């Protein structure tokens, strides 16, 4: 499973890159607005340090403007994936951009029917939002499972990019279901390494090492 980092924070991206934990990056206007940076400049900088896909989202709602924005974003770098919402205008834009060989990430997916439409429109990635479904007492992981089944049934090449990841458990469950990608904030990816038994075991080792006076260097 690929790890995409859901942030526009350059330092956090570089930190996870050093561990080999960054296969791509997802951004959206809200994330970039919080950073206080120019959307085009920060996207360009991210693309320069990350080899994998970098999702950059359009802000228009109509097809014509969406397409113009998407084409502008795609010119930033070869690894841009233009992010469009799962609306009919977004699907139309997805079809046009995909036909031109531009990667497209169709976002704000909340149903298997929507995911099926995105695949038919040629989406590179479909982004089902797990956490937001959980927030309204629906099973976000069940949606990932449903999409996996449909895509496997018909051989769709659209990659399932599980989004709105809230915790480390979401990551492991998506991996078991077979999501192609999970995009998560840096703190969630870091939390995957945490386990109380690891901490306890290491504390015990260190106590024994100190007691025995063991040194390597």
Catalytic residues: 83
The count of other CB atoms within 10 Å of the CB of residue 143 is 23
- CA-wise closest residue to 126 among 49, 76, 80, 179: 179
């Amino acid at each position: 499973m690929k790890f995409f980092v859901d942030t526009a924070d350059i330092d956090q991206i570089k930190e996870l890159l050093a561990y080999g934990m960054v296969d791509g990056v997802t951004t959206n206007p809200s994330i970039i607005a919080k950073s206080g940076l120019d959307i085009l400049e920060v996207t360009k900088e991210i693309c320069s340090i990350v080899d994998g896909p970098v999702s950059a989202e359009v802000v228009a709602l109509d097809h014509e403007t969406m397409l113009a924005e998407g084409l502008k974003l795609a010119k930033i770098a070869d690894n841009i994936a233009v992010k469009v919402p799962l609306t009919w205008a977004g699907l139309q834009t997805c079809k046009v951009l995909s036909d031109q060989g531009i990667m497209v990430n169709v976002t704000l997916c909340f149903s298997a029917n929507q995911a099926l439409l995105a695949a038919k429109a040629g989406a590179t990635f479909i982004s089902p939002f797990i956490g937001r479904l959980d927030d309204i007492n629906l099973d976000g992981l069940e949606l990932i499972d449903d999409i996996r089944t449909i895509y496997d049934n018909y051989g769709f090449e659209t990659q399932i990019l599980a989004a709105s990841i809230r915790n480390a458990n979401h990551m492991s469950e998506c991996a078991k279901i077979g999501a192609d990608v999970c995009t998560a904030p840096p703190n969630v990816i870091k939390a995957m390494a945490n386990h109380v038994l690891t901490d306890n075991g290491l504390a015990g080792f260190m106590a024994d090492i100190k007691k025995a006076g063991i040194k390597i260097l």
